[in-house]
Amino acid sequence: MPTEADLAELLSELSTVQDELLAIFREKQRLLAGDDPEALSQLWPREEAVLAKLRVCHERRRQLLVEAKSQGMPHTSLSVLSKALPGGRSNAARTELQANLREAAARRRLLAHHSLTNWVIAQRRLLHLSQMLEIFATGSQEQTTYGKGGPPSARGALLDAEG
């Protein structure tokens, strides 16, 4: 049967992992906004290691909920499970456990926000690079949509010596 100590241990580990991931996301955001692709590529192994730790926490959570289900206890979430556990600890410890659950949920939302922010920055950067490549390839000449005259030149200044 899951205990409050099991949940407290999981939440302690989860808190550490979430904090590590948040630090990586913040650093990644700084690097995405800057111009240091080498530093950004060096961040990947650290990110993978933290994600592996997060997977371990997720698996431990799943095990606790499966164990609770097999014991006939509520098993929809750790918060629901924590309220149904037999009182082996003090009210202060139970209150701290509930606070830790709320903090973990808040950090999860913050991580999702940072992840989305990094995705948007990366998409903007790709759009900018795409536009720069188009400018280089076409010699900065806009293609006319309609009008008199011959077809627009398809040669780019970057590719042709004549451009």
pLDDT recorded at residue 3 = 87
pLDDT recorded at residue 1 = 83
Q: Is the pLDDT of residue 158 over 80?
A: no
User: By C-alpha distance, which of 116, 119, 114 is closest to 19?
Assistant: 114
Q: What is the mean pLDDT of residues 122-129?
A: 90
- What is the residue type of 16? T
Rounded CA-CA distance 6/150 in Å is 76
pLDDT recorded at residue 78 = 92
DSSP 8-state class, residue 44 = H
pLDDT recorded at residue 37 = 84
pLDDT recorded at residue 87 = 67
Q: Is the pLDDT of residue 123 over 90?
A: yes
Percent of the chain whose predicted confidence (pLDDT) is above 90: 56
- What is the residue type of 139? G
pLDDT recorded at residue 163 = 47
- The pLDDT tens digits of the residues spanning 31-57 come to 988 878 899 999 999 999 999 999 999
pLDDT recorded at residue 113 = 97
